[in-house]
Amino acid sequence: MAYFNYLKFWGILVCSFCVCLGNAQENKTVSKLEIYHTETGERTVIKEFPYRVEAPNWTPDGQFLIYNSGGKLYKINIRNPQSDEMIFTGFAASCNNDHVLAASGDKIAISHGTKEDGKSRIYILPFAGGVPTLITPMAPSYLHGWSPDGKTLAYCAERNGNFDIYTIPAEGGTEIRLTFSEGLDDGPEFSPCGKFIWFNSVRSGLMQIWRMNVDGSEQTQITFDTERNAWFPHISPDGEKVIYIAYKKGDVNPSDHPPGKNVEICLTSISRNRTETIIELFGGQGTINVNSWSPDSKQFAFVSYQ
């Protein structure tokens, strides 16, 4: 018994050390909130953080960037980067990097790990801050898109072991399943015209970009990259450009988008049917999980890490 207790003591000590080491490594993460100018190719660092921040949104008025860190949401004035301000989200203190602003700018939808079971559900609250309203009782549900007319949310959800894309009325109601393929379908986002939903799917073997009508019909593969896994397509407000993040084949499981990888941000010009890599960086999860285009479609925000 004494020998068992001795081993148990050292086992607890080692586990505690590993947890502390993991936390220390997370705390050592340096995050750079950056802006890329598509016309000049210039990268501008808005602010550097000595901890992890993720998934910037650009507000419709062009004044603020929204990001998440440590389960909370923050807004930062682009012209005054030292003015970080936490957005009051009430009980929702486990927000992940799936927050989306309404086109009107007065509301924000979030994915929050509900306290009772820790599973992600979608909520809506005033952008000025307030108590969130539950939209998706079923879980897990991971938000990604809000229709331009404000009436519908699009999200990835796991139901009965399958990860597919769903929509639901923004005021709550019955969810509608749009994809039925084997493997993961994720990252749904409405086009600015409101007619299409862009998403990423692993159904071809590698993760690639797809597009469908808002009712789920005419699901069409857009990228056919044999060397990279493409995630999270984000359409510019003018509908002319799409950015997405790409992992090199073999670096990750096609159904995974982890942090801490050498990745690329790719830009597609829809009218010219041309795609190019515009940024190579150390990042991944948290870099561009949500739409981060500026209102004028000339810039987008992203996060790189060190």
pLDDT digits (tens, 9 = 90+) for 99-142: 999 999 999 999 999 999 999 999 999 999 999 999 999 999 99
Strand partners, 6: none
Say which residue the tokens 């969810």 belong to.
175
Pick the closest to residue 119 from 86, 87, 159 (CA basis): 159
Assess whether pLDDT exceeds 90 at residue 21.
no
Residue scoring higher pLDDT (14 or 174): 174
Cβ proximity of 69 and 63 under 8 Å: no
Q: Which long-range contacts (CB under 8 A, 24 or more apart) does 138-143 make?
A: 138/175, 139/114, 141/111, 141/166, 142/96, 142/98, 142/111, 142/186, 143/98, 143/99, 143/100, 143/109, 143/110, 143/111
Cα–Cα dist 171/152, whole Å: 8
Cα–Cα dist 88/169, whole Å: 24
Of 4-13, 209-218, 278-287, which gets the smallest average pLDDT?
4-13
Cα–Cα distances (Å) from 187 to 5, 130, 191, 206, 238, in that order, read: 49, 26, 13, 15, 20
Per-residue pLDDT band at 273 (split at 50, 70, 90): confident
Mean pLDDT computed over 71-80:
96
Per-residue pLDDT band at 27 (split at 50, 70, 90): low
Q: How far is CA 129 from the centre of its chain?
A: 20
Q: Which CATH code is given to the segment(s) 2-63+138-305?
A: 2.120.10.30
pLDDT, averaged across the chain: 92
Residue type (1 letter), 261 = K
Assess whether pLDDT exceeds 70 at residue 20.
no
Cα–Cα distances (Å) from 150 to 171, 210, 229, 276, in that order, read: 10, 23, 31, 32
Assess whether pLDDT exceeds 60 at residue 1.
no
